[in-house]
Amino acid sequence: MKKTLLYLGNALHRMQAERGSAVLFVSSKGKLFKKELQEAFEQSHAAFEDIRLELKGWYQNHDFDDEFLDKMKIVLDNTETVKSRRNRILNLEFNPTEIISGYSHNVISPLMDIMVLVALSNKDNDPAKVSAYAYFLQLKEKLGRIRALGVRGLVTNSFGNQEFLDRFRFLISEQDSFKRTFFAMADDKQKRLYESIMHGNAVRRLVEIHDGLRKGQKITLPDITSTDWFSLTSEKMDLMKRIEEKLVETLPRNDVPEDDQSQASQIQVTRVVEGISSHQRDFIEELPFFMNLPEDITSSLLQHAQVREYKKGKLLFLEGEVSSRLHIILSGWIKLFKGTSSGDETVLQMLTSGDMVAESAVFLNATYPVSAQVAKKAVVLTLPAPIIRERIKQHNELALRVLDGISQHSHSLIQEFENIRLKPAAERVGWFLLKLLLDQGKVPDLIELPYDKSLIASYLDMKPETFSRTLKRFKDNGFEINKNSVILPNINALCGFCDHDLAAACTKHGTPECPNPDCRMDTGDNFK
């Protein structure tokens, strides 16, 4: 297994370097890095030829199951596609964004998934150590993306563009997040390995640049050239490759007597999930995805999980990013949005406690189709995507939960589209307020507004001034409109905005107390 991981890791490293070289070459319109790019092509080709030779031995010796071999074949087929596109790259037929996306989604991300699966398939390996290894692979990949995006930005002088700068800072914050997670999951030996290798001029220089960017500073061509950036980041990538190879040697469990294996495993699991409180664990186990799952499946997932707190404004991921983690909201609010060509954003969904965030991308091993940002301080459970996908294939119970979850998510999107995009302003606001009232369930005539009114307006697909005018109509009808709350004139004041989906959450529906048993929007007329 160790030899296999080293072969796969070498191919991954070479493909990451090829991606960065291709972006530099194309961004400069072919003026820079042509020789280096062709060398990168040759090195990547050689690395995958080594894997093809090894693959014959894997088949003959039955080292891996058919599922793994099929996945490996898909990756190798994808490398053939990359191979066929190399002349088109040299002919400048792709833009930098297409190159980053193509390499990342078709080869690099699947390779990392396979490496984690190989490590997990060895029963002698410690799952907690494998989890740390998986996070390190993600950490290294974030630096690879920073290398590629950085050379593009320097060649095209894009660091003066706020949208580009925000995207770059987001990558840095993601890198920092994976580093913190790696250290949280790693044992002492793995931490020492990292610290003993990760030093030198390139590391120091990149820390200085990243710190400056976090503080709002910009980097320009006089500060550092695109080729200098590529050299600095490549030097650090090489150091990380050394760490990766050393980490492979740390994966086996510590030598303990067979009778003590289960006890040692339990101790390790406790260390890994120490960030999850008993209250949070109870809440998690009541979520639809986890409810009534066998204890061994739940524990096998949560031993790789972390609970994180995010401040308002924190970006979880951007549209087009590789889906590296599954996010489940324990508290707070997160908005899903898409950027528009004019630089604005369209809010697609507002998610809260119990919701999964863009889960279909994780389940289907696709890139995130939307961006996600914290709208109100949130506590989020995160699980590594490769481990989630592997467990789904191992357990039919989880696979059924996934199908059910995707179906419910699709239904929810359709429902919200109908209620938010296709109705007059007063009906949108009334439906939204009633939904909040039913979700909160605290006081029968009090609604707490969970996030800014400007964000509510965006979510309801209306301009802030339209939202304000609509609230004024509600106020004229006896509603008390405050900064962070709405008080109803009577407990049935919003019942006319009910529909069949909201009715399912209402305790009055189906009883004599229900003033709107047919769920018709007739009260809305009073607010037009």
pLDDT in tens, 173-210: 878 877 877 887 788 899 999 999 999 999 999 988 88
Report the half-sphere exposure of 403 (CA within 13 A, side-chain side).
7
* Residues 12 and 115: beta-carbon distance below 8 Å: yes
* Residues 426 and 471: beta-carbon distance below 8 Å: no
String of b and e for 172-184 (b: at least 16 CB within 10 Å)?
Answer: bebbebbbebbbb
Phi/psi of residue 342, nearest 5 degrees:
-85, 0
Residue carrying structure tokens 């528009």: 340
The overall average pLDDT reported for the chain is: 81
CA–CA distance, 485 with 120 (Å, rounded to integer): 50
Residues forming beta bridges with residue 322, ordered by sequence position: 367
pLDDT per position as a tens digit, 444-453 = 788 888 888 8
- Please indicate whether residue 316 or residue 364 has the higher confidence score (pLDDT): 316
Residues forming beta bridges with residue 333, ordered by sequence position: 376
Q: Mutual orientation of helices 385-394 and 396-421 as an angle, nearest 10°?
A: 120
pLDDT per position as a tens digit, 231-242 = 999 999 999 999
* Residues 106 and 78: beta-carbon distance below 8 Å: yes
DSSP 218: -
Nearest one of 311, 302, 296 to 276, comparing CA atoms: 302
Residue 255 has pLDDT above 60, yes or no: no
Residue 13 has pLDDT above 80, yes or no: yes
pLDDT per position as a tens digit, 128-137 = 788 789 889 9
* Residues 214 and 143: beta-carbon distance below 8 Å: no
- Please indicate whether residue 153 or residue 518 has the higher confidence score (pLDDT): 153
* Residues 418 and 412: beta-carbon distance below 8 Å: no
DSSP 253: P
Which pLDDT does position 407 carry in this prediction? Answer: 60
Quote the tokens at residue 307.
């609970």
pLDDT per position as a tens digit, 308-352 = 888 888 888 888 777 888 899 999 999 998 875 555 678 888 888
Domains and CATH numbers, the chain: 2-250 (no CATH), 273-408 (2.60.120.10), 423-527 (1.10.10.10)
